[in-house]
Amino acid sequence: MSEKQGGDASPHYSISARQSILETPEARVTLMTLAPGEATPWHRHSVIADTAFRLDGEVEVQAREPEESIRLLPGAPCRMEPGRVHRVANAGATPCRFLLVQGVGAYDFVKVQA
């Protein structure tokens, strides 16, 4: 298990903190922390789905085609299917934490224009 804080060294983007819980060729589980105003980049995945579970703070999943903004309830899942453009944002004034479950299949991260 690894933890990166203070702007992690992910090859895709940097956030306040990220802790890998599980990483295999077919699945990933990550605890993520976003500072107020912080968000992941707009992106999609070719094969895997993202499922986010809110733990603390105000977590919002934003998606395109169709445009959608989902405020997560504590513990309730939000699933983004492969190919759908989305991002996760901190919608509050304090840090937020969410558990991100990704799979099943080969991981990729395809950035798209904001």
pTM of the predicted protein model: 0.87
Query: For residue 11, what pLDDT is reported?
Result: 62
Residue 6: per-residue pLDDT? 39
Q: Is the pLDDT of residue 1 over 90?
A: no
Q: Is 110 helix (H, G, I), strand (E, B) or coil?
A: strand
- Both structure tokens of 26: 């077919």
Q: Which residues pair with 55 in a beta bridge?
A: none
Ordered domains of the chain (ranges, CATH): 2-111 (2.60.120.10)
Q: What is the pLDDT of residues 30-86, one digit of tens each?
A: 999 999 999 999 999 999 999 999 999 999 999 999 999 999 999 889 999 999 999
What tens digit of pLDDT does each residue of 87-114 get?
Answer: 999 999 999 999 999 999 999 999 998 7
pLDDT tens digits for range 3-39:
333 344 456 789 999 999 999 999 999 999 999 999 9
Angular region, 105: left φ>0, alpha ψ -120 to 50, beta rest:
left
Q: Residue by residue, what is the 3-state secondary structure of 48-68?
A: CEEEEEEEECCEEEEECCCCE
The separation between the first and the last C-alpha atoms of the chain, rounded to the nearest angstrom, is 32
